Amino acid sequence: MQKEKRVAIIGGDARYLPLIHTLNKTNEINLELIGFDQVEQSYTGVKQSTLEELKPEQLDAVILPITGIDDKGYAEAVFSKQELQLTKDWFKRLPSHCLVFTGIANQTLLDSVKIKGNKLIKLMERNDVAIYNSIPTAEGAIMLAIQHTDITIHQSEVFVYGFGRVGKTTASAFKGLGAKVTVVSKDETDIARAFEQGYTVCHLSESIKLIENCHVLVNTIPAKVINKPILEKMKSDAIVIDLASKPGGTDFDFAKARGIHAIHALGLPGLVAPKTAGEILAFQIQKFIFSS
């Protein structure tokens, strides 16, 4: 039998509730929550603490918010009014084997974990997490396309810009509903793979020649690729769903002026499938805790 692991969750958002629920199902994890005092739900066997009560010396893992900590060490807690400041002195008290989980990391966090040499796992920068998260993202895009067009996805012309982690999943989801999907990329390897998978393919530099047929454009490329020339050629009742992180890849001002409905859809996993999104994080965290 595995030794019980002591895990503290310090701050977090709505995705952390299913995460807590899933981790709590594992008998070998002893959970302590900081920054969840306003959650109405209670979890059997889970201790709610304050940062003062928590003993970092005893921890095997710390789970920080997806956003990590800010420059002054503050961790964001959506479900608490407590101020959760994790100073360098606090990190000094962690045992060196203690894992530190975050979504993303700034320099302050990178410096803080260096003090005792703690392993930092940046969940959102991991390829596997990005791929798992791409599933609810693609379903969110499907939902938006059904809601905001007056045609069926089936037999519609869908252009997916980018064939990376999110692009692959999105193209597959639309194809699964019978759409005619064109994959647009400037990467010849991606174009070859998309071709192999049965999509119509098009080099980024050539997409302007085909875009007038498009009903639904999904962008996943984090660069201004859905620009004025592209938008000018599009049907006015086509829609643009931009999944690329801020500031997105679409000239939203021009789209608006042109009368094209363009949606910058961020955070879809938490929106359409918070439970799955939380579980994705929980499974990753468990994998690390029990393999370390």
Which residues here bind its own copies, judged by CB under 8 A? Answer: 18, 135-136, 139-140, 142-143, 146-147, 149-154, 173, 175-178, 272-276
Angstrom distances, CA of residue 41 to CA of 10, 17, 21: 17, 9, 10
Q: Which two tokens stand for residue 292?
A: 């370390």
Residue 279 CB, nearest distance to its own copies (Å)? 8
C-beta closer to its own copies: residue 56 or 140:
140
Q: φ and ψ at 183, to 5 degrees?
A: -100, 130
For the chain, helix (H) and strand (E) counts, in that order, are 10, 12
C-beta closer to its own copies: residue 86 or 260:
260
Residue 70 CB, nearest distance to its own copies (Å)? 29
C-beta closer to its own copies: residue 101 or 174:
174
Q: Could you give the CA distance from residue 250 to residue 204 in angstroms, rounded to a whole number? A: 14
Which residue is associated with the tokens 């060490």?
A: 73
C-beta closer to its own copies: residue 5 or 15:
15
| 3-class DSSP state of 259 | coil
C-beta closer to its own copies: residue 5 or 175:
175
Residue 173 CB, nearest distance to its own copies (Å)? 6
Residue 44 CB, nearest distance to its own copies (Å)? 18
Nearest in space to 29 (alpha carbons), one of 62, 2, 65, 4: 4
CA 32 to chain centroid, in Å, comes to 24
Residue 31 CB, nearest distance to its own copies (Å)? 21
Q: Could you give the CA distance from residue 149 to residue 215 in angstroms, rounded to a whole number? A: 8
